[in-house]
Structure 1
Amino acid sequence: MHTKPRKICLVGSSGGHLTHLVMLKPLWSKCNRFWVTFDKEDANSALKGEQVYHCYFPTNRNMRNLIRNTVLAWKILRREKPDLIVSSGAAVAVPFFWLGKLFGAKTIYIEVFDRIDKPTLTGRLVSPVTDRFIVEWDEMTKVYPRAINLGSIF
């Protein structure tokens, strides 16, 4: 991860998760990239002009959409071949991280800002295949021992 990735996949639910990723624009703006998010007004507005794949929602604890998003992830990752997958959640990240590892991508997960001392379900599910796990609170390094606290994105 010390070299600049050729292609980045930014994957996340609409709303706050997507806002986290958009706020990282200085890090991804000059990279070849594509997005995976919900087909919702806020996401479409925030990503106007970007290459976007729409995933199925709701995702939290929805087995049908997990299966549908896993198939979608397989198709997108085979086509796009990203070097790096970045997410701040939520559940749509899970199939992209696990399948992304099969395709040789590096992964970075950013645990959401509002989690101060307890893990999210998505964080627990992607942790085993995450190359860099980033948290925004010192307390979270006790929850995720491999995590790096880089402070607040906000």
Structure 2
Amino acid sequence: MNDGEIYLRWANTDDAADLVVFNDAFNGVGLSIEEVQDNIAVTSELIALAVMDDLIVGFACAQYFKSFCYRGLQGEITELYITEAARGKGLGTLLISFLEEELSARGVTSVKVLTGNTNENAIKTYEKSRYSKMEKELLLQKKLEPIR
């Protein structure tokens, strides 16, 4: 892939087919195009796309919320994926900045990111965007069975 025109934009339901492929490569979830279209149509999640030479080459997602426990809105960058061929061009940093600008415009005062301890490329990308490691944090997770 050559270094052609690069721009960022917000995702819409027309992007579902590309997002299915990227999400499967990144998360291995295997959603259908229809599921992604439905999710995009109803979510308040911010879904940013990196486009190079008119092809979508990456995406990043963020969410925000108000908690009674804190002052101001809290934000979280939940996903960041760039295709192998488009890596090393600064697109991750651009997507992070794009999300941060929108989060800030909506009143978010703090943004957090969770990533794997061994995901050195992601860690470097976030540190380049001035995120700091919080050694005291630990993620605990549990899957819940649906109540029928």
With the shorter chain as reference, the TM-score category is: 0.3 to 0.5
TM-score norm. by structure 2 comes to 0.35
User: Going by fraction, where is strand more abundant, 1 or 2?
Assistant: 2
